[in-house]
């Protein structure tokens, strides 16, 4: 479970950096690396990033219910 958590967090970070580049420089890094937005590999990366975000909702809400989210405390 810990490995899956790390992998999904890494994919979400990659997706966030990609969106930053799209917003700031109109450059889609995933598309550039994998042959365009319509390329099969790029679409797989987009899907994996989206699924990772959905998966991370589970531990996030679980930690909220336990009161374990340190970000809520402001540090």
Asked if 50 and 14 count as a contact pair (C-beta separation under 8 A), the reply is: no
Q: Is the pLDDT of residue 60 over 90?
A: no
pTM, two decimals, is 0.80
Integer angstrom CA distances of residue 65 from 3, 22, 54, 62? 22, 34, 18, 5
What average pLDDT is seen over the chain? Answer: 90
Give the C-alpha separation, 21 to 50, whole Å: 17
Estimate to the nearest angstrom the gap between the alpha carbon of 18 and the chain centroid.
Answer: 10
User: Average pLDDT for residues 7-35, to the nearest whole number?
Assistant: 96
Residue 55 has pLDDT above 70, yes or no: yes
Report the distance separating Cα 52 and Cα 7, nearest Å.
8
Express each pLDDT in 6-16 by its tens digit: 999 999 999 99
Assess whether pLDDT exceeds 80 at residue 27.
yes
Number of other residues whose CB lies within 10 A of the CB of residue 46:
17
Kindly list the domain boundaries of the chain, sorted by start residue: 2-68
8 in helix, strand or coil? helix
Percent of the chain topping pLDDT 70: 89
């Amino acid at each position: 479970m810990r490995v899956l958590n790390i992998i999904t967090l890494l994919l979400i970070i990659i997706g966030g950096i990609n969106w930053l580049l799209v917003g700031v420089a109109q450059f889609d890094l995933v598309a550039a690396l994998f042959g365009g937005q319509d390329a099969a590999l790029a679409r797989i990366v987009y899907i994996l990033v989206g699924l990772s975000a959905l998966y991370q909702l589970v531990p996030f809400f679980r930690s909220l219910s336990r009161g374990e989210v340190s970000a809520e405390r402001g540090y």
